[in-house]
Every structure is written in structure tokens, then in C-alpha cells.
Amino acid sequence: MCGIVGYVGSRNAAPIIVDGLRKLEYRGYDSAGIAIHDGKGIEIVRALGKLVKLSDALEKRPLNGTTGIGHTRWATHGRPSEVNAHPHAAGPVAVVHNGIIENHVAVRAELEGQGIKFLSDTDTEIIAHLIHRELDQGAPNLFEAVRKALGRVVGAYAIAVVSRAEPDVVVAARFGSPLVVGIGEDEMLCGSDVTALLSHTRNMVFLEDGDVVELKQNGYRIETVNGTAVDRKVKRIDWSAVQAEKAGFKHFMLKEIHEQPDAIEATLRGRIDLQNGDVHAGEMGVTPEFAKTLGRVYFVACGTSHHATIAGRYWIEKIARVPSVTELASEVRYRDPIFFPNDLVVAVSQSGETADTIAAVKAAKAAGAQVLALSNVLDSALPRMADGALYTHAGPEIGVASTKCFTTQLAALLLLAIYLGRQRGALSKEQGQEILQALWETPSHMREVLGDADYMHVIAKKLTHAKDVLFLGRGLGFPIALEGALKLKEISYAHAEGYAAGEMKHGPIALIDENLPVFVICPRDSHYDKTLSNMQEVRAREGQVIAIATKGDEAVMELAQHMVWLPKVNDDVLPLLTVLPLQLISYYVANLKGNDVDQPRNLAKTVTVE
């Protein structure tokens, strides 16, 4: 996730673009850059780190001109560095991009074969070269060149482009990544969201996938990539600046909850080989040979990431048939753990900077184990230490309570299990296809569940005075019970326990009375009958059951006070859905209590201390 801004008009473009980028910094802050047409040519200034570094650079080297583009980066391909910072130039054009180009390796090889030299490690640079090639091959203008070049690109993008030959034009386009056009007075803008544009105009056009737009000072035109002219409605946006930064949501956490379907799509993009029921290994560093011979998958992680690894362990054992354990990193580092050289140690961490997880990885490396880092932050400490990386590509998560980073970790872990299963021959092509198909359909099922948010609000209202809450689940429902409890306690400050439903009779059952709300994760999976019995045990003691169940389940309906319905899906993708109502309910409870949802008391987003 990156932020892009484009401007063409009569004012000096650079301050307007930098101001827009400041509003988009929540989308990434690894580097920033700007390209301005100064009437003679295109001048580019880029800087590693937050936007303030770009501002400093612009003070030393001011850029003047009325047309330009800018970018704030969340690195996905190529480490954060000035060389990988956008804009990327090729011949007369400069490009900024938000998204992931899936076929960049093949296109890059083709262009290199034609003698083109690449300066960065980014996927974006191919777009600049493709546009340049179209211009060289006779495209009449930048708009046509961009349209044609995008015909070669597979993946997700929002781009903005300027060209030396057209000092008063910005061309922009989107597919799979957001892009908004702002219609000002004697000026036109574009940006990744309305926040970047609101101080200049409230009249916006939300581009659709496949749209290419040409912006000039006094107007714009839109065509599809295929060359059909289209008309998009102009909408008036009345949000305040603060509302806009959160895309109209009250808190970042709520926004991030709703971003999950898109985030999962980003995790899956370019990794699924549906035809062969397989997964592309990418940068994982796990060769097919090692996958065949490894003796154990050993997960280390903390907090929410640890919960994801419990699901990971289930999948690895079930799908890849490899022994697997998961340990809290904070425990591993102070024990005398045993690692073997044929262990694959998988460190799962949103930030990639968690001190306990780093210490556990050091112990694993010292013992000669191979380490894979599963992280959201490119080139953070853990991926740098590890032998390979599996990035979730969820984009920055601002809310301290992890939501989209948890579900994208789940998706990535399921991909890892399928990859290992296929290499080891434990999973047939058809079985692989079945799970991958289910995973592929998950974002649309997530949208369906998130569509019931208002009902989660109703349930939350009943829980605002609850002092204790129990969460129960079996199998893949167990880590979700743990995660549901963690979400509720960290932002609503209610005491909550997550338990394996089968453990209830070994202690927590003593807590149950008419005052105890009990969430039971009870979809129609292979544990269904057993979990239903646990639900009956709760009801027999007057506990208040809130069930997360499969649509239309009458047996559950008879027992539960509140029902949250899920679509019927493949068992293996269930945790990506069952957690959604729990995230939403926790959010609403905390909000109803007036808590600081995005920055709950005593917590930090990245825990770089013991």
C-alpha cells in the first residue's frame, strides 16, 4: 500500500503534492518522492524515510512547475532505499505506482533482452519502460501510451504519469488499487484517497478498475484500457479532514477491519497456481528439496501473531503432514530450546521488529535451523535475519489492535501449508485446487460477513457492562477463541478468556452462570458435534451463548441467545471468517465505552523491548 498524488493547474505543484502526501502517509512511509515538470523537463527529488526527509530535500533543491506527481511508499518489491523510491523514470516519462505487478519478472526479462537497463529492484519500473517504449513506437500522446502499456501489465495498480513532451498533462489509471480524481477550479488532481485532495476540492470522481484518465488544467477525459470512452459520476464529499483520513470510518481499527477482503487479495496476488493446485514459493527460500526433507515446522511469535501460528500448526500437520509446534517467542528465548538443522523455524510478526521474536530467531539460527520470516513490513529486522521471507502485503496497520494483519497472516500460513503439502506429495493437485479455490473466494465471503456489521453493534450493546467474557472454539476455532478474547480485552478492557472448547470441563465451566456471556465458535466443520455439546453444557448452566455458526443451523439457533451467521465454506478457510464478527464486536464494545480504540492504554503497536 502506497500513496500517490497528481496535480495539474496554475499553482506551484510541489507544495500541493507534498501536502497531499502528508495526508496519505498512513499508507506507507518507507520513502517519498516527487516529479515536477518545470516547463523544460521533468525534475525528480526522492528521499529515503518519512515525508519530512523529502521536505528537507525540497528545501535544498526547490522544484517549480505547475504539473507533477508524488508518492509515499510502503515497500513491497525492493527494499526501502532512495533508488527504489518513486517516481521511476524511463526516457521522457516518470511514474508513481501503488499496487503489485504480478508479471513484472517476465516483463523485466523481456525488456532487459531488448537492452533496457533497470535502475531499481521495483516492479514499478517496468511500467515506466513500457510507456516509454509505446511512445518510441509511435503512440501519439502520453494518454495512448499509458493505455497501451497497461495492456501488458497483470496485477494491481494505481498510477500517475508525467511526460517531458506534455508539460500540462497528468495521466492516471487504476486497476485493483484505489484512485480518486479531484475537480478543482482551474486545476485537476488525483490521489489514492479523498484525504489528499479535500483541501482543494470536494468534487470527486472515483475511478473504476480499468479506467485511464487524462488530467489537464481545465478538464479531464476517461477511457477504459481498451479505449472505450466512459463517463463517471462526480460526487460531492462532505467529510471533515479527520473523517477523510480514515476513509469516513471513526477509527483506523474499523477501517482496517473493513479493508480485510482487499488485504487478503493482496496476500494471494501472484502466489496461487490454481491450475496445478500449488503455490509459488517466491522469496520463501524453501526449496522443493528442503520442503521434502524438513523434519518439523517450528513457529515462534507473540500475541495475535502467535494465535495465527496455532492455525498454522493445524494446517501444516493436516495439509503438509509435517510435525509442527508453536511456541510463544517470549518463552522460547528464556528456555533452552532444542532446534534441529532440518527444522523450518517460521517467525511470524506483523512488524518484523518484535524483540522476543527476534531473540527466538537468533537461538534458532545459532542451532543451524533454517528460518522463514512471515511479516508485513518489507525488510524489517526479521526478514533481514531470516533465510527467506513471506510477506503478507496487508499495508500499514495503524490501530494497535491487529485485525487485517492477523487474517493476512492466516492466508499466508495456509499458502505455506499448501506449498509444503504439494512438494511433499501429501496433498494432491485436486485437494490443493479445492483449498486454493476456497481461499480465492474468501474475500467475497468476508465482504458478506462484514456486511452484517450493524448486527454486531446490536450484540456489542448487550456486552458493554460485561466484566468477564468467555470464548470457546475447537480445532481452527481455538485460535479464534484466543484472538476474540485478546481483541476484547485489549481495547474494551473487559476480562476475557479464550479456551479450547474441550477444556471447558477442566475448569472454566465453574465460571458459568446467567451473567457470563460465552462466545461459541461453532461452524459446521469437522468439530461441529463436539462443540455443539459444549454449547449445551453452557446453556444447562444458564450461560448466555453468542454463537458464530453456519447460516441456517437450527440446532444452534435453539441454544443461542444471539446468532452470527457465516456462509458455508471449506473448513480450512473458516478462521478467516469466524474472527470477523469478534473483531467487530470488540470494536463496538470499546467504542460504546468511549475508549481510545486505536491507541488502547498501556499498549504499543511494535514491542521492541522485552
What are the catalytic residues?
2, 605
* 89 or 405: CB nearest ligand AGP: 405
* 83 or 398: CB nearest ligand AGP: 398
Shortest spacing between CB 376 and ligand AGP, in angstroms: 8
Contact 600, 593 (CB under 8 A): no
Q: What are phi and psi of 117, to 5 degrees?
A: -100, 130
Q: Which stretch in 134-142, 256-264, 345-353, 516-524 sits in contact with ligand AGP by CB under 6 A?
A: 345-353
In whole angstroms, how far apart are CA 50 and each of 22, 84, 381? 9, 14, 18
Output the 3-class SS for 254-291. Answer: HHHHHCHHHHHHHHHCCCEECCCCEECCCCCCCCHHHH
* 370 or 586: CB nearest ligand AGP: 586
Shortest spacing between CB 253 and ligand AGP, in angstroms: 9
Q: Which stretch in 145-153, 196-204, 344-352, 565-573 sits in contact with ligand AGP by CB under 6 A?
A: 344-352
Shortest spacing between CB 347 and ligand AGP, in angstroms: 9
Pairing label, strands 157-163, 88-90: unpaired
Q: Which stretch in 230-238, 343-351, 433-441, 495-503 sits in contact with ligand AGP by CB under 6 A?
A: 343-351
- In terms of phi and psi (left: phi > 0; alpha: psi -120 to 50; beta: otherwise), the region of 557 is alpha
**How many residues lie near ligand AGP (CB under 6 A)?**
15
Q: Which stretch in 77-85, 143-151, 239-247, 301-309 sits in contact with ligand AGP by CB under 6 A?
A: 301-309
**Which residues in the 44-103 window bind ligand AGP by CB under 6 A?**
none
Query: Other CB atoms closer than 10 Å to residue 420's CB: what's the count?
Result: 28
* 302 or 522: CB nearest ligand AGP: 302
* 222 or 401: CB nearest ligand AGP: 401
Please state at what angle helix 303-315 crosses helix 404-424, rounded to 10 degrees: 30
Is 330 an interacting residue with respect to ligand AGP (CB under 6 A)? no
* 540 or 603: CB nearest ligand AGP: 603
Contact 319, 417 (CB under 8 A): yes
Contact map string, positions 382 to 421, toward ligand AGP, x by CB under 6 A:
------------------xxx-------------------
Q: Which stretch in 5-13, 128-136, 296-304, 413-421 sits in contact with ligand AGP by CB under 6 A?
A: 296-304
Distance, in Å, from the CA atom of 211 to the CA atom of 222, rounded to the nearest integer, reads 6
In the numeric block, the cell 450493524 is attached to 454
**Which residues in the 118-137 window bind ligand AGP by CB under 6 A?**
none
Strand order in the sheet with 166-175: 88-90, 93-98, 157-163, 166-175, 211-216, 219-224, 229-230
Shortest spacing between CB 608 and ligand AGP, in angstroms: 9
DSSP 521: E
Exactly one of 66, 192, 354, 550 binds ligand AGP (CB under 6 A); that residue is 354
Q: Which residue is nearest to ligand AGP (CB)?
A: 303
**Which residues in the 305-324 window bind ligand AGP by CB under 6 A?**
305
Helix and strand counts by DSSP (H, E) for the chain: 20, 27
Distance, in Å, from the CA atom of 79 to the CA atom of 90, rounded to the nearest integer, reads 20
* 260 or 305: CB nearest ligand AGP: 305
Distance, in Å, from the CA atom of 420 to the CA atom of 270, rounded to the nearest integer, reads 17
Q: Which stretch in 144-152, 239-247, 280-288, 297-305 sits in contact with ligand AGP by CB under 6 A?
A: 297-305
Shortest spacing between CB 371 and ligand AGP, in angstroms: 15
586-600 burial: b if 16+ Cβ within 10 Å, else e: bbbbbbebeeebbbb
Which cell goes with 528?
461441529
Shortest spacing between CB 607 and ligand AGP, in angstroms: 5
Pairing label, strands 31-37, 67-73: antiparallel
**Which residues in the 508-537 window bind ligand AGP by CB under 6 A?**
none
* 127 or 329: CB nearest ligand AGP: 329
DSSP string over 290-332? HHHH--EEEEEE-HHHHHHHHHHHHHIIIII---EEEEEHHHH
Kindly list the residues in this chain that would bind ligand AGP in the complex (CB under 6 A).
302-305, 349-351, 354, 357, 400-402, 490, 606-607
